[in-house]
Amino acid sequence: MNSVRKSALALVAAAAAGVYLMTLWTQGFIRDDRWLIAGNRLLHQGLSSVPHILTSGYVEMVMGSQAPIQEYRPLLTITYLLNFLTTGAAPWPMHAANILLHAVACCLLLAALRRRMTEASALAAALLFAVMPVHTETVSYITSRSELLVAVCVLEAWLLLEQEASSRRLVEGAALFCAGLLSKEHAIVFPAFLALSDWTFHGLAPWRSGRLRVHVTLAACAAAYLMIRGLVLSHPIHGGAPYFPDRTTAWLTFSRFALARYLWPSLSGAGLCADFSRPLVPDARPEVWSAWLAPAAWAALGAAAARAVARRQTWGFWVLGPALFLLPTCHLLFPLDTLGAERFLYLPTMGLAVLLGGACGRLQQRNRMLGRLVLALAALWYAGAAVARNRAWLSEPAYYQAAVSCNPVSARSRAALGAVLIEKGEVEQGEAQLLAAMALDPKFPQSYYNLGRLAWDRGDWDRAQRLSQKAVGLDASASDAKVLLALCLERRGQLAEAAQLLESVLAAMPWHTEALFNLGRLELLRGRPAIARPLLARFARLAPDDPDAPKARALAAP
């Protein structure tokens, strides 16, 4: 029996790792990986940055006090720091860490399912979960490590804390819960997940003797986390500018979106997309009767599953329990700046994998060969789709081409694709994408900034100034656009105005290296070396590998 279990674990781990091995050859950093990881100067400072990481918001430590999103994920950032300390800034070890975490999560899921299903059903469910194409964004995208860390913490805590947990297991489980909370916010629903599991599988209520201390301990951990979050963040619960104008529109639109863009791609492996920005998915209008069909369908499913849980029918748990982890990002509780993302589905699709795996297991009981054949075909279909989807994550051009392909009306993806193409030397194609982005959304500041950079490189100072001014006018926190505008003003001899702009950037982001270097230069030009030298010295410390660092060190010398 032990050899069978070891071979099952090996199969699940191999499948989980195998479909993502190609990401080890990813070229550079993609999307948020570029600025949250590669561009995060704290990660280049070694262990001395740990106090700052522990006392800063996840986005604030990169974007400064004007960060539009407030999140507290110090453990996640520390895992990036460990990558930097051990293997430097190379992307492949970071992808390897994501693959390892995914494999561990799949093995933990198998261990948890063995306690609740037959061996065949548990193996089928874990295997399908391991190769689901909808998980590609989670595993291939380094910054989605938050989902993987939470999954590992939650699944191990589930194994430790079910039924009668000893004092040692309680401490270990609570520590894992805290680790999950410090990786991403949605771990906070774990106590509700555990309570549903206790009732469905063991008939135990949270207030029962032996379970009460578990839930009180978890509640204390959650309260402590919320208190620390409130002390660290300027806005403890803030997901950026709300995507929807009102809660009714949010409920109706997300219900329809979840059917078409969450459930179907998760089940079929088709229609995957990494960019759902407007206007790809139109808002559902309350006055249109058909807009109520999707929420009615979800409400009916939820009611049936709740009734099943009340009767301790396990299928109800697998519908409701994993879905709890989608609550913080589904717009029903908190407004977010994005409609959705496939990485949010990592833990919620655990229920879908279990239902599919259970069907395969029951089929094997009736006809062993047929059941195994169906499972093999489903796993191969998922694995093939996952490998194909991975190709979109191997480079920034491939990623943004795929994003524009699935969402051709996204100004964000077109602007990013344009900037990447220009970096590759395909200037005309890149400029065309930037102009298309500007036409799609005249209020998207990144298009103006990227076109401004292009104008600057071409020596068209007037156009560069106009475009950077437009970008800053649309987004007062656009630090890079402010730096570009300062350079334009410097060329016109407006040194004082340029210095003020750079000072405003550094007020929000004291570690903005480009602003530090250029402000140091300006202060030297203005005849104020006592102010310039500390700025240049700080730049050299923060960016020791920058080509301008030797020059800065020389200028900073007394």
Residue range 76-89, pLDDT digits in tens: 999 999 999 999 98
pTM comes to: 0.93
In a domain, 487, yes or no: no
For residues 389, 390, 394, 395, the Cα torsion angle rounded to the nearest 10 degrees is 30
Q: Is the pLDDT of residue 193 over 50?
A: yes
**Which range (93-107, 511-525, 537-551) has the least confidence?**
537-551
Q: Do both 160 and 298 map to the same domain?
A: yes
Residues 382 and 304 in one domain: yes
Does residue 168 share a domain with residue 24? Answer: yes
Burial 317-352 (b: 16+ CB within 10 A, else e): bbbbbbbbbbbbbbbeeebbebbbbbbbbbbbbbbb
336 domain-assigned: yes
Calculate mean pLDDT across residues 421-444.
93
Same domain, 302 and 340: yes
Write down the pLDDT at residue 333: 81
> How is residue 30 written in tokens?
């993609």
What's the CATH number where 503 sits?
1.25.40.10
* Residue 239's pLDDT band (cuts 50, 70, 90): low
In a domain, 216, yes or no: yes
Q: Is the pLDDT of residue 344 over 50?
A: yes
pLDDT band at 411 (very low <50, low <70, confident <90, very high): very high
Give the rounded percent of residues in the chain with a pLDDT score beyond 90.
73
Based on the fold, state whether residues 187 and 264 are members of the same structural domain.
yes
Residue with the two structure tokens 């995914």: 102
In a domain, 185, yes or no: yes
| Same domain as 277, residue 383 | yes
Looking at residue 257, its pLDDT comes to: 95
342, 418: one domain: no
Q: Are residues 326 and 459 in the same domain?
A: no
Q: Two tokens at 506?
A: 């550094």
For the purposes of burial, counting CB atoms within 10 Å of the CB of 545, is it exposed (0-12), middle (13-18) or buried (19 or more)?
A: exposed
pLDDT of the residue at 98: 97
* 459 CB neighbour count, 10 Å cutoff: 8
Distance CA(407)–CA(394), nearest Å, equals 19
466 and 497 inside one domain:
no
> Structural domain of residue 456, as residue ranges?
410-482
399 occurs within a structural domain: no
Q: Assess if residue 520 is contained within a domain.
A: yes
Residue 336 main-chain phi, psi, to 5 deg = -120, 165
Band of residue 1 on the pLDDT scale cut at 50, 70, 90: very low
- Picking from 13-22, 172-181, 409-418, 536-545, which range would have the lowest pLDDT averaged per residue? 536-545
Residue 208 has pLDDT above 60, yes or no: yes
Q: Write the pLDDT tens digit of every residue in 460-513.
A: 999 999 999 999 999 888 889 999 999 999 999 999 999 999 999 888 888 788
Element containing residue 174 per DSSP (H, E): helix 167-181
Average pLDDT of span 96-113? 97
Residue 106 class from Cβ within 10 Å (0-12 exposed, 13-18 middle, 19+ buried)?
buried
The predicted model gives 262-269 an average pLDDT of 95
- Tell whether the model's pLDDT for residue 458 goes beyond 50: yes
In a domain, 325, yes or no: yes
How many structural domains does the chain have?
3
Find the range with the poorest average confidence among 113-117, 252-256, 477-481: 477-481
**238: helix, coil or strand?**
strand
pLDDT given for residue 556 in this prediction: 78
- Residue 165 pLDDT > 80: no
Indicate whether 358 and 457 sit together in one domain: no
Q: Once rounded to an integer, what is the mean pLDDT over residues 350-358?
A: 96
Cβ atoms < 10 Å from Cβ of 258:
23
Calculate the CA 224 to chain-centre distance.
24
Query: Is residue 51 in a domain?
Result: yes
Phi, psi of 213 (to 5 degrees): -65, -30
Contact at 8 Å (CB) between 414 and 437?
Answer: yes
Query: Tokens at residue 294, please?
Result: 């999707």
Claim to verify: residue 417 and residue 378 sit in the same structural domain: no
Residues 315 and 421 in one domain: no
